[in-house]
Amino acid sequence: DQARTPDYLSGLNPEQREAVETTEGPVLVLAGAGTGKTRVLTTRIAHILATGRAFPSQILAVTFTNKAAREMKERIGMLVGGAVEGMPWLGTFHSIGVKILRRHAELVGLRSDFTILDTDDVIRLIKQLIQAEGLDDKRWPARQFAAMIDTWKNKGLDPAQIPEGDARAFANGKGRELYAAYQNRLKTLNACDFGDLLLHPIRMFRANPDVLRDYHQRFKYILVDEYQDTNTAQYMWLRLLAQRSAASRNSPSSGLSATFSPSNGEKDGAAGASPPLAPPAGRGSRGAGGEGPAPTVNICCVGDDDQSIYGWRGAEVDNILRFEKDFPGAKVIKLERNYRSTEHILGAAGHLIAHNEGRLGKTLFTDRTEPDDEKVIVHAAWDSEEEARAVGEEIERLQRGDADGKKHALNGMAILVRASFQMREFEDRFVTLGLNYRVVGGPRFYERLEIRDAMAYFRLVCQPADDLAFERIVNTPKRGLGDTTVRALHDYARARDIPMLAAAAEMVETDELKPKARKALFDVIQYFRRWSERLETTPHTELAEQILDESGYTDMWKNDKSAEAPGRLENLKELVRSMEAFESMRGFLEHVSLVMDTEQNEDMDAVSIMTLHSAKGLEFDTVFLPGWEEGLFPHQRALDEGGRSGLEEERRLAYVGITRAKRRCHIWFVSNRRIHGLWQSTMPSRFLDELPQSHVEVAEAETSYGGYGRGGYGQSRFDRADPFANSYSTPGWKRAQQNKSDATRDNWGTRSGHAVERIGYGESGPRGRTIEGE
C-alpha cells in the first residue's frame, strides 16, 4: 500500500506527515500558531480510518469547543471521502465526559438520566445549603462558594482533598463540610454540575479498574487539540484513559515501582481504589496488531505553550512540558512552517511574544508572502465611539473593494475584544450601518443576563403593563418575593385582566399576602411610582443609574464575589453609557428591540465579534483588535492579581489575537474612555511598544477629528507616523530591551508624564458552557 500516496497526505509537509503517520506510540506536536496542528489531528484521524487501523468508535478526539468538533467531523468526512461509518468520540472534554457518565452513572450513585445543572441552579442549591447550616448567606455568598467549588473541581479535588487553607477561608471553616454536603445533595437530586462531568468518570475509573480496562481496549487512538489549555482534572482524566496499567496490558514485566508520582496536587481518591498506573512500554514493542491491548499508548497531543490563555480557569501549561515524562519514548514533533499568515503578521506576533520569559521557544516562518502584503496597522482613535465608527468604515471599504480592487466577504473578518463590554459599541454601530454581524462564543451584549435584568427595569418603568419584565425583576435582587407570591399576583392579575404591577398595587392593600411579602412588594411599587414620575423630569441616563442603584441591583453584583461579577458591573455601566446617544429611555428601548431583531444565522455573510479567548484555533482574512490600552489590554486585573505571570498570559492572548489573521491585522487604541460618566485618558498598551517597526505601520488619522486636543495625540504628525523614532537602540528585529519610558510612549501619541488612571474592566472569556452531542 506504499505504492501511492493518498490525496489527504500529499499536501502535508514532511513534519506534518510524520505526525500523521506515526500512529503508534505517544506523539506530541509542539508548534506555533497556524502551523497546521489541528490539520494534523484531522488528517491523522482520516489516516487511521483510511488504513483500517481502527473503527471510528475506537478513536477518542478532544477539541476545545463544540464548534471545533463539528468542523473536524465535517473535514474527516471530506478527507476519507463520503460518510464515515459510525463516528469517532469527538467533542469537548465535557461532552465526552457526559457520554461516558451516562453509560456508568450507577457506578457513581447516579441514574443514567441525571440532569446537568447550570450555574444558576448550582448557586440556588448552594444558597440553600448555606442557609441550612444557619449561616448568613450575605456574609458567605453562594456565588463565591460556587466559584471555589469550580476551582477545586478543575484541580480534581474531592472534599477530602481540598487545601486546609481553602476550607478555612469560607463559612467559618465549614468549607469542606459544605462541599461534601453539596455533593450529597447533587446525588439526591440525581444531578451533577459541569465539574462532575470529568470528576465522576475519574472516580468511576479509579474504583472500577475493569471498566477502565474496557475503555483501554476500546480507545485505540487518543487525540487532543489545544493541549496547552488542559486543566488538572482534564489531565488526570486523559492520563487514566491513555496510560494502560500493567493489568490492562497483560504484561507482567512492566515495573509497578515506576508508577507515576502524584503531581499537580493529585492524590489518590479517598477510597484508595486507584489502579496502579504504570508507564507505558517503550516504543520498541509495537505491532500487536488487532489482538489484545496495544502495547503502547497511541496518544497524540498538539499544542502551543505560547497560546495558553486559560490559566485563570485552572489550565496548567506545565502539562505540555511534562508530556515526555508522562509518556516515555514520546516522539516530539515541531512544525515551523506557518500556512496561515503573512510575514508581517507572523513577524509582529513573534516579536511580541518574545517578551515573555520561560517559553519553550519556537521558530516560525511562512512563504505566504506577496509583494503587496500589508503591514500590521496600528490606528489611534479619540474614543471608543470613533473606534467603532472607523472599524465599520474599514470593513465597508474592504467589502466594496476600495482597498485592493477585490471585494472581501464579511465572513473573513473578525473583531476580537479583550472584554465583553467592548462589543456593545460595535454591535450598535453595525446595526446603524446595516452590517451583518454575529457574536461568537457567547451572548450578544444586549442578551447578557445583567443587561436583560436592567432592561426589564427600564421597560417596566416606561411600560407598566410589561408583565414579563415584572416577573423577571420582582425578586431580582432577592426580596423575599418568591414563587408563591408571584403566583398569587399572577392569579389576581388574570382574574381582573390587569397588569401584574397594577395587581401588586391592589394586593398590598389587602391581607392576601404574608406581612413580609406585603412590605417588600409595597416597597417595589413605591420605587416604580417614583421612577415613572421622574421619567419626564430626570435625564434618562441619570434615571437609569438611579433605578439600578435604588433597586439594589447594582449592589447585588457588587456583593457578588464570583469571577464574572466585575465584568457584569462593567457591562451595566456600558449599558447606561450607551443610552447617552438617545433622546429618551423609550427611544433607547426601541433601539435595543431593533438591534435584537437582527437575525444571527450561521449561513449569512457576517462579521464575527468575539472575545480573544473564544477566538482560539480560528482564522480570518482580516482581524480587528480594538482597545489596546493599558488597563484594558493588558487587563488591569490580570496585572494586579497575576504579577508577571498575569502579564504574560495577557501577552499570549495578544499573540493569539494577531495570529488569527491571515492577511490583514488592524490594531486600535483610543485616547479616552468614558468610565463612570467621566472621561479618563488612557495609555496605549505596552504591547504596542513591543511590536517591531519592520512589520508595523501607524495609520494616518483618517477620521474627521482634525485636532486631538491638547497633547492628546502627540505633538506632531511626524511623531505619529514614526512611532519608533526613539524607541529602538538597535534597529530591526533584535530590539534591545529597554524601559518603557515616557519618551517611548510619547511616540504612540500620549501625553508624557500623565498619570494613568486605573480602570477595572470586565473579564472576558466564554461564560456559558454548553454541551453537545448528548
Helix axes 515-534, 500-507, angle to 10 degrees: 130
Q: Which stretch binds ligand ATP (CB under 6 A): 27-35, 279-287, 555-563, 637-645?
A: 27-35
For residues 547 and 457, the answer to whether their CB atoms sit within 8 Å is: yes
Which option in ligand ATP, Mg ion, none does residue 306 bind, with CB closer than 5 to 8 A by kind? none
Q: Give the residue numbers marked as catalytic.
A: 37-38, 225-226, 307, 660
C-alpha–C-alpha distance, residues 733 and 350, integer Å: 10
| DSSP-based three-state secondary structure for 109 | coil
Per CB under 6 A, the list member of 26, 34, 350, 626 interacting with ligand ATP is 34
Q: Is 721 left (phi over 0), alpha (psi -120 to 50) or beta?
A: alpha
CB of residue 617 to Mg ion, shortest distance in Å: 4
For residues 351 and 654, the answer to whether their CB atoms sit within 8 Å is: no
Query: In Å, how far are 110, 504, 519, 766 from 513, measured between CA atoms?
Result: 40, 10, 9, 42
CB of residue 322 to ligand ATP, shortest distance in Å: 20
Task: Check residue 613 for interaction with ligand ATP (CB under 6 A).
Answer: no
Query: In Å, how far are 102, 139, 147, 332, 613 from 303, measured between CA atoms?
Result: 29, 42, 27, 11, 15
Amino acid at 22: T
Instruction: Give the residue from 632, 634, 631 showing the smallest Cα distance to 645.
Output: 634
Instruction: Give the residue from 658, 660, 636, 638 showing the smallest Cα distance to 648.
Output: 638
Peptide bond between residue 634 and the one before it cis (omega within 30 degrees of 0):
yes
Per CB under 5 A, the list member of 16, 38, 154, 296 interacting with Mg ion is 38
CB of residue 307 to ligand ATP, shortest distance in Å: 6
C-alpha–C-alpha distance, residues 553 and 548, integer Å: 5
C-alpha–C-alpha distance, residues 13 and 733, integer Å: 27
Longest dimension (CA), the chain: 90
Displacement of CA 713 from its chain's centroid (Å): 33
Which option in ligand ATP, Mg ion, none does residue 25 bind, with CB closer than 5 to 8 A by kind? none
C-alpha–C-alpha distance, residues 242 and 23, integer Å: 14
Between 37 and 518, CB nearer to ligand ATP: 37
Task: Check residue 37 for interaction with ligand ATP (CB under 6 A).
Answer: yes
Task: Check residue 33 for interaction with ligand ATP (CB under 6 A).
Answer: yes
Q: Which stretch binds Mg ion (CB under 5 A): 51-59, 368-376, 517-525, 611-619?
A: 611-619
Alpha-carbon dihedral of residues 261, 266, 271, 275, nearest 10 degrees?
-40
Task: Check residue 38 for interaction with ligand ATP (CB under 6 A).
Answer: yes
Task: Check residue 747 for interaction with Mg ion (CB under 5 A).
Answer: no
Which option in Mg ion, ligand ATP, none does residue 681 bind, with CB closer than 5 to 8 A by kind? none
Task: Check residue 280 for interaction with ligand ATP (CB under 6 A).
Answer: no
Q: Which residue has the cell 392593600?
A: 509
Q: Which residue has the cell 447585588?
A: 556
C-alpha–C-alpha distance, residues 106 and 103, integer Å: 8
Which option in ligand ATP, Mg ion, none does residue 362 bind, with CB closer than 5 to 8 A by kind? none
36 is in an annotated binding site: yes
What's phi and psi for 275, nearest 5 deg? -70, 150
Task: Check residue 16 for interaction with ligand ATP (CB under 6 A).
Answer: yes
- With residues binned 3-state (H G I as helix, E B as strand, rest as coil), the percentages for the chain, rounded to 5, are 50, 10, 40
Which option in ligand ATP, Mg ion, none does residue 13 bind, with CB closer than 5 to 8 A by kind? ligand ATP
CB of residue 129 to ligand ATP, shortest distance in Å: 41
Between 32 and 723, CB nearer to ligand ATP: 32
Between 29 and 521, CB nearer to ligand ATP: 29
Per CB under 6 A, the list member of 158, 304, 394, 574 interacting with ligand ATP is 304
Helix runs in 55-207, H state only: 66-80, 93-104, 119-132, 142-154, 164-169, 175-188, 196-207
| DSSP-based three-state secondary structure for 415 | strand
Task: Check residue 392 for interaction with ligand ATP (CB under 6 A).
Answer: no
Q: Which stretch binds ligand ATP (CB under 6 A): 12-20, 137-145, 151-159, 210-218?
A: 12-20
Task: Give the three cell numbers for residue 155.
Answer: 484541580
Between 440 and 503, CB nearer to Mg ion: 440
CB of residue 71 to ligand ATP, shortest distance in Å: 10
Instruction: Give the residue from 578, 595, 664 showing the smallest Cα distance to 625.
Output: 664
Q: Which residue has the cell 476600495?
A: 402
C-alpha–C-alpha distance, residues 228 and 310, integer Å: 9
Q: Which stretch binds ligand ATP (CB under 6 A): 31-39, 91-99, 126-134, 356-364?
A: 31-39
Q: Shortest Cβ contact with Mg ion: which residue?
A: 38
In this structure, the strands spanning 27-31 and 299-303 are: parallel
32 is in an annotated binding site: yes
Q: Which stretch binds ligand ATP (CB under 6 A): 8-16, 344-352, 485-493, 758-766?
A: 8-16
CB of residue 651 to ligand ATP, shortest distance in Å: 16
Which option in Mg ion, ligand ATP, none does residue 95 bind, with CB closer than 5 to 8 A by kind? none
362 is in an annotated binding site: no
323 membership: H or E segment, kind and range: helix 323-326
Peptide bond between residue 6 and the one before it cis (omega within 30 degrees of 0):
no
For residues 161 and 171, the answer to whether their CB atoms sit within 8 Å is: no
Between 58 and 341, CB nearer to ligand ATP: 341
For residues 243 and 277, the answer to whether their CB atoms sit within 8 Å is: yes
Task: Check residue 174 for interaction with ligand ATP (CB under 6 A).
Answer: no
CB of residue 335 to ligand ATP, shortest distance in Å: 7
CB of residue 36 to ligand ATP, shortest distance in Å: 3
Site string for ligand ATP, 650-679 (x = CB under 6 A): ---------x--------------------
**Looking at the chain, how many residues does it have?**
774
Task: Check residue 617 for interaction with Mg ion (CB under 5 A).
Answer: yes
Per CB under 6 A, the list member of 39, 94, 104, 577 interacting with ligand ATP is 39
CB of residue 104 to ligand ATP, shortest distance in Å: 33
CB of residue 308 to ligand ATP, shortest distance in Å: 11
Task: Check residue 13 for interaction with ligand ATP (CB under 6 A).
Answer: yes
End-to-end CA separation in angstroms for the chain: 38
Task: Check residue 339 for interaction with ligand ATP (CB under 6 A).
Answer: yes
334 is in an annotated binding site: no
378 membership: H or E segment, kind and range: strand 376-381
C-alpha–C-alpha distance, residues 114 and 101, integer Å: 9
Which option in ligand ATP, Mg ion, none does residue 723 bind, with CB closer than 5 to 8 A by kind? none
Which option in ligand ATP, Mg ion, none does residue 575 bind, with CB closer than 5 to 8 A by kind? none
Which option in Mg ion, ligand ATP, none does residue 196 bind, with CB closer than 5 to 8 A by kind? none
C-alpha–C-alpha distance, residues 622 and 663, integer Å: 6
Helix runs in 535-622, H state only: 540-550, 553-558, 565-578, 585-597
Between 33 and 513, CB nearer to Mg ion: 33
Interface size with ligand ATP, residues (CB under 6 A): 19
CB of residue 659 to ligand ATP, shortest distance in Å: 6
For residues 469 and 457, the answer to whether their CB atoms sit within 8 Å is: yes
Task: Check residue 11 for interaction with ligand ATP (CB under 6 A).
Answer: yes
Which option in Mg ion, ligand ATP, none does residue 340 bind, with CB closer than 5 to 8 A by kind? ligand ATP
Task: Check residue 36 for interaction with ligand ATP (CB under 6 A).
Answer: yes
Task: Check residue 617 for interaction with ligand ATP (CB under 6 A).
Answer: yes
Between 37 and 379, CB nearer to ligand ATP: 37
Binding site for Mg ion (CB under 5 A): 37-38, 617
Residues in the annotated binding site: 31-38
Binding annotation for ATP: 31-38
Residues in the site for ligand ATP, rule: CB under 6 A? 11-13, 16, 31, 33-39, 304, 307, 339-340, 617, 619, 659
